[in-house]
Structure 1
């Protein structure tokens, strides 16, 4: 499968969408995926010690000469000094404003139905109480460890689960902190393991067990987990490398961590769990994950675009948050092509979102209160998108939803909406969501004209057709 993407931004960890999707056969996984596809809209959160410096998550530790890996001189004059100072952020990370119930309430109001939280990013700092490492938020080295909700992963999962969310655990397969991945005997060269696992199999075996144990903890000790979202696709069997993808060409050694063993364990702990081994085609990539981009055409497999609300996945002071109109438009474009929208908001070092993020969620809430029936439990339907109009249908195909979007900062509705009715749909009733009065409409051939009711709507108009 070769996909063209509509990019939102260029990012270091941007991923291709792998080909060769394999549909799951486990009935519980199939059912979970179906429910997840009904949910459409989720919250992603990148959060760690790096938020204190307001820098891109983890990547400045990576010795690659790219724009996103640049280190600020004030954080260390040499690489080794920088790494030491970065790791010492553990000793000052104290997010005392942490209140996951506040996040869950705001996200639920905005129509979000599932959450994916970064339990561990590439830097190896665990935002959960792992027994495999002392590099974690619950360590006595971290001042927040005395807080009643020091195990922030447990608190986040509990708060969102209590609000009806599906729970997703993001976990980085590479870990740049442990000696089993970046062996101190050698300097790290790039994002990959810094030794040859086939030359040092005992060390790699320890890394495999380390990874297995941490994922076992996450899927055993944290209540029901619905999604295991695995990042760091360079940790993969060498035979799965796609040489047409630039970043995959940098993988020079075998980095197989035995996903069959990990996935089987996760399913034993959490029957029906969706496993997302990003960019690695096979049994354990249950849905695909374009990043900061939307496929230009509908996909006939489960997929999710992860896109930031600001410019960055991690917290940056005074970030440039997207207008609510843009967020609504992105949601409409994604669901019309059959996907889910995973919107990232980055908590700050104090443990809270910026007020601007809450403002966007509140504005989304007002729009969702009116239009949610056209968003959730829907599926893509041809022609998907024509001009300013985007389509979804109810799963039983008895309701057709037509979204109208407009250019510019403010939404502008035409005096008359005119759009194609997909083949097989015969409208018997037409309504404009948000208006209680009768709507004037007529049908000519395969076109429908709908007169705009009086009043105004924010961000987009949704026309809903009951069909015979």
Structure 2
């Protein structure tokens, strides 16, 4: 009897193992991304990203302690490398401020002053929600090698040094409580040449004073290095992202552009592509890293997405949204994102030169009307406070969105994106057309692209934020709107909501060719990519 029971148990066990194996196979088969670029090109744009429109980017790290750049403008988050590149200027600056310069005192020695002592992640998250953001992108790691999370892979992390807090984790919890999506951004792809004598080369060498700092403090090698590309460096690059993914389950994989893909004998733009072996390995590992991230999202029932950064895009078109710094397309492009600065820097820069509030609002509207998302950046101080100039612009943006949000959130592009006469931008939502005047509307506005509309096409016209009656008529030149004397609560830009009898979104108005869409953009890039 015991033998029979044992046999029965063994058969049952085998059947269960077999069933579990089949279930695992089924799960593997059902995952939509098979590791190829072709499958990744089919990734959908998540509704939360397409509808949300507004994100907050945060550049915050030990470089925020410095808050200074030669000539007072440009990307202050690049100063850690500029210290060693422009030693004549920055060594004197360090001596004046800290009393020493490399190799006695280098970037690693500034880290203890990054304390975040006045930082409250819940206050940040509430602010971001109040000003109308729908997602938050925080620098998990910039090019400097510093990890803003509780990392088991490097001692140079915010839990073990500096703030001694899990910045990525704490902010993630806070923004999720506010119902916002979260993306710790990852910029380590250019770390291997950040502190070297030559940038964006496969075989890079550390600067002499960096080597001397490491000689004196051997632990510094894991901050400043590795130098140049190797299989080990690529594996570490992937491992750090994997740690972020597993610990924080981000909604978006944000990666900066990767210059080595088109430098030093490598070129993704050629057909067939040209790669040195280790860069081929990097390219392949990035593809697998994105695949794993996307499939992991599917397994969790989480809508996730990625970006495709740079004029020379990291990945084939269709893999994520187009993105560049301060990007403004002239046309309606494939889904894209502008990571936008209020000033000239992403990281904190004392006495930065800022755009006017009016220019920020206009830029936001233009980006969204052309199928873009507006990822606007703040650069907090090292203690966790946000500079007043940035707070002012965030709050004004929030006040404008509170009045005009109906013309922004959940909208899609129209058949045209702008009209010179009257300085108009357009968005749509179902049967509604929004004509957003980017200069104060006076007298009347004729919407030229409505020429030929039938008398009964328009049901009503109103001005968001105003109780005034808006008169209108269909003329031979198109819909004419008589602007009311009372423009209501809105400032900087005014949104006319036009209720019609037909769906206004025009899917075919998009320029699907990314190269053509990017040609002739109005972008101003102050210092390469950040």
Q: TM-score range by the shorter chain?
A: 0.7 to 0.9
Cα deviation for residue 281 of structure 1 reads: 2.5
Q: Which structure is higher in helix share?
A: 2
CA contact (8 A) 1:304 1:341 kept: yes
Cα displacement (A) at 1:296: 1.4
Instruction: Quote the Cα distance in structure 2 between the aligned partners of 1:305 and 1:103.
Output: 22
CA contact (8 A) 1:22 1:286 kept: no
Q: Distance in 2 between matches of 1:285 and 1:83?
A: 45
Aligned mates of 1:330, 1:345 — CA distance in 2: 16
Find the aligned partners of 2:159 and 2:318 in 1 and give their Cα distance. 30
- Aligned: 1:359 with 2:365: no
CA 1:282–1:446: 2 relative to 1, 3 Å: same
In structure 2, the residue matched to 1:188 is 197
Cα deviation for residue 174 of structure 1 reads 2.5
The residue that corresponds to 2:8 in the other structure is: none
The equivalent of 2:233 in structure 1 is: 207
- For 2:182 and 2:477, the matched residues in 1 are separated by 43
Aligned to 1:427: 458
Deviation at 1:368, TM superposition (A): 1.3
Taking structure 1 as reference, are residues 366 and 286 closer, same or farther at Cα in structure 2, changes over 3 Å only? same
- 1:23 & 1:453 partners in 2: Cα distance? 52
Distance 1:405 1:72, change over 3 A: farther
Q: Give the counterpart of 1:71 among 90, 112, 124.
A: 90
Q: In 2, Cα distance between the equivalents of 1:451 and 1:126?
A: 56
SS at match of 1:349: coil
Q: Is 1:322 the counterpart of 2:355 in the alignment?
A: yes
Change (3 A) 1:95 1:183: closer
Q: Which whole-Å CA distance do the structure 2 matches of 1:339 and 1:69 have between them?
A: 42
Name the stretch that deviates more: 417-426 or 271-280: 417-426
Q: Normalization by structure 1: what TM-score?
A: 0.79
- Distance apart, 1:421 and its partner CA: 4.2
Shift of 1:195: 4.2
Q: Compare CA radii of gyration and give the structure with the larger one.
A: 2
- Once the two structures are TM-superposed, the CA of residue 64 in structure 1 deviates from its matched residue by 11
The CA RMSD measured in Å over matched residues stands at 3.4
**Alignment equivalent of 1:115, drawn from 136, 153, 157:** 136
Q: For residue 147 of structure 2, what is the aligned residue in structure 1?
A: 126
Q: Give the gaps of 5 or more residues in structure 2.
A: 1-36, 69-74, 206-225, 502-530
- 2:463, 2:384 → 1: CA distance? 40
Q: 2:79 aligns with which of 53, 57, 60?
A: 60
Kindly provide the CA deviation profile for residues 267-296 of structure 1, in whole angstroms up to 9, marking residues without a partner as x. Answer: 344334212242212278411102123011
- Asked if the contact 2:231/2:278 (under 8 Å) is kept, the reply is no
Distance 1:119 1:341 in 2: 20
> Which residue number corresponds to residue 17 of structure 1?
none
Aligned residue pairs total 414
Displacement of 1:171:
0.3
| Alpha carbons of structure 1 residues 39 and 400: separation in structure 2 relative to 1, 3 Å | same
Q: How does 1:298-447 map to 2 (within 5 A)?
A: 298-299=332-333, 301-387=334-420, 388-394=423-429, 396=430, 398-406=431-439, 412-422=440-450, 426-447=457-478
Hey, what's the Cα distance between the residues in 2 that align with 1:404 and 1:421? 15
Give 1:30's match in structure 2, choosing from 27, 33, 44. 44
Asked whether the equivalents of residues 62 and 69 of structure 1 are also in contact (C-alpha less than 8 Å), the reply is no
Structure 2 residue matching 1:270: 3-state secondary structure: helix
**Counterpart-to-counterpart distance in 2, 1:189 and 1:41:** 37
Given candidates 218, 228, 237, the residue that maps to 2:253 is 228
Q: CA deviation at 1:69?
A: 12
| 1:41 aligned residue (54, 60, 63) | 54
Contact 2:51 2:410 in 1 (8 A): yes
CA distance in 2, matches of 1:241, 1:235: 10
Q: What is the deviation of 1:152?
A: 0.7
- 1:151 CA displacement: 0.6
TM-score under structure 2 normalisation? 0.71
Distance (whole Å) between structure 1 residues aligned to residue 328 and residue 104 of structure 2: 35
Any idea what the Cα deviations from partners look like across 1:372-392, whole Å, max 9, x if unmatched?
A: 011011111122111111111
What residue in structure 1 maps to residue 506 of structure 2? none
Task: State the secondary structure of the residue aligned to 2:232.
Answer: helix
Q: CA deviation at 1:325?
A: 1.3
- The one of 180, 190, 198 equivalent to 1:165 is 180
CA gap 1:308/1:252 in 2 versus in 1, 3 angstroms: farther
SS of residue in 2 equivalent to 1:116: strand
Q: Is the CA contact 2:190–2:200 (under 8 Å) kept in the aligned structure 1?
A: no
